Amino acid sequence: MFPGGSNLRVLREQLGLTMRDVENATSRIAQKHGNEEFFIPPSRLSDIETKGVVPSIYRMYSLAVIYRRDIRELMSWYNVDLNAMAADLDLIFPPKSHVSEALANLSSIQIPVRLDPSFDPRRTVNFGRMVEQWGLVPLAYLARFSSCEFTYGYIGSEDLTMYPILPPGSFVQVDESRNKVAEGGWRSEYERPIYFVETRSGHTCCWCTVAGEEIILQPHPLSPVAARSLRYPQEADVIGQVVGIAIKLGDWRPVCDSLLSSKAHEALN
């Protein structure tokens, strides 16, 4: 049984309200809005508090007003957590582009609030391993950062492997269940899967090809980084496939010529 009823009763008693008080208050709310659905007679309130009856959205609103509580808290007592909307949005994909207001008023979600002191923004890392503590912060669109189904990578400021598709400073979402390198058949570079790979020298995002006992880490054609061939899986571990990317738009800066030159020099040597 949902804990909502007992919790609502505790709230009413803490405020010193009788069932008749609630009835009179909901009568005034119903009269103001011209809708009898807001009204809660004592018999129905008793059923809500003691028999597990779920109040309608109108009565939920009345109780939230009378008990001076956020309606989202009351709904959570009935296993309706509005803060879970960010993750549930992936369950439906409307065919037309649109402006989404679904997450505008969510109270909080979990994002990293403390990182490992060794975090170096210049290097590509497995971001999930860098998080020492998650905390509630009102940034709903980052809700899935707390999902255990994925890990998250940060493209280091000096990692140009998939530039310009994945510019330095990008965040990537990695599906760890897709850690087997797929074979060809893609019509364009945008269809070819990008993998998050851990090597002895660190992490990187790249295209991959498995050839016998070796794996080829292939950069974007416009990148100054050279392809690498490593023993597989001894020297390279495919963490998973990149399935999401967070890139800041509107603040593009050209990659430093000196950095490009140094990467090209490293590739030649």
Report pLDDT for 267.
44
Q: Please provide residue 259's backbone torsions phi and psi, each rounded to the nearest 5 degrees.
A: -70, -40
Q: Which H/E stretch holds residue 216?
A: strand 214-218
Beta bridge partners of 241: 175, 195
CB atoms within 10 A of CB 126: 17
* 109 has a pLDDT exceeding 50: yes
Where in the chain are all domains bearing CATH 1.10.260.40? 4-82
* 13 has a pLDDT exceeding 60: yes
Q: Tally the C-alpha atoms within 13 A of residue 80's C-alpha that lie toward its C-beta.
A: 12
Q: Residue 116 in contact with residue 132, Cβ under 8 Å? A: yes
24-49 confidence digits (pLDDT tens): 999 999 999 999 999 999 999 999 99
The 3-state DSSP composition of the chain as helix, strand, coil percent (nearest 5) reads 30, 25, 45
Task: Please name the residue that has the structure tokens 């609502």.
Answer: 8
Q: What confidence category does residue 106 fall into, taking pLDDT thresholds of 50, 70 and 90?
A: low
Q: What confidence category does residue 266 fall into, taking pLDDT thresholds of 50, 70 and 90?
A: low
Counting residues of the chain whose pLDDT is more than 70, the rounded percentage is 74
* 268 has a pLDDT exceeding 50: no
DSSP per-residue string spanning 73-139 = HHHHTTT--GGGHHHHGGG---SS-----TTTT---EEEEEEE-TT--TTS-EEHHHHEEEEEEES-
Least confident of 108-112, 227-231, 241-245: 108-112
Q: Which CATH superfamily is domain 150-268 in?
A: Umud Fragment, subunit A (2.10.109.10)
Q: What is the mean pLDDT of residues 142-164?
A: 76
Q: What is the mean pLDDT of residues 216-240?
A: 95
Report pLDDT for 230.
96
209-223 confidence digits (pLDDT tens): 999 999 999 999 999
Q: What is the mean pLDDT of residues 225-252?
A: 87
Q: Which CATH superfamily is domain 4-82 in?
A: lambda repressor-like DNA-binding domains (1.10.260.40)
Residue type, 37: E
Q: Residue 174 in contact with residue 196, Cβ under 8 Å? A: yes
Q: What is the mean pLDDT of residues 61-87?
A: 89
Output the CA angle 122-242-109, nearest 5 degrees: 80
Counting residues of the chain whose pLDDT is more than 90, the rounded percentage is 50
Report pLDDT for 47.
96
Where in the chain are all domains bearing CATH 2.10.109.10? 150-268
Report pLDDT for 30.
97
Please give the mean pLDDT across all residues of the chain: 82
